[in-house]
Amino acid sequence: MNDTLLNVARFAFVFILPIALTAGAAVALFSLGALFYVLDHPEELHRRIEAAFRRPPKPARDPGPDHYYKAYWSRDSSHQAGEK
């Protein structure tokens, strides 16, 4: 039991600890870069915060059957070029 626990501790120290430290350093550098970016461009941060709370645009509606516009592919053959 003691030997198994010692093997797990060695594995964690040799394999998992360096990975955790490297990942932590990468996150810290990314956070520092983001902080400097925000300090350089505060107006963009303001725009992003406002955009997060803005309502999404309304979905497009289909025009009714009596609408003046007809899609090219849905026109009948009487609307071909030169015919009236």
Average pLDDT over residues 17-45: 95
Tens-place pLDDT, residues 42-82: 999 999 999 999 998 899 888 777 777 777 776 665 555 55
Question: Do residues 21 and 14 touch, judged by C-beta distance below 8 A?
Answer: no
Q: Where residue 40 falls among pLDDT bands split at 50, 70, 90?
A: very high
Across the chain, what does the average pLDDT equal?
85
Phi, psi torsion values for 31, nearest 5 degrees: -65, -40
Q: What is the DSSP letter of 64?
A: P
To the question of pTM greater than 0.75 for the whole model, the response is: no
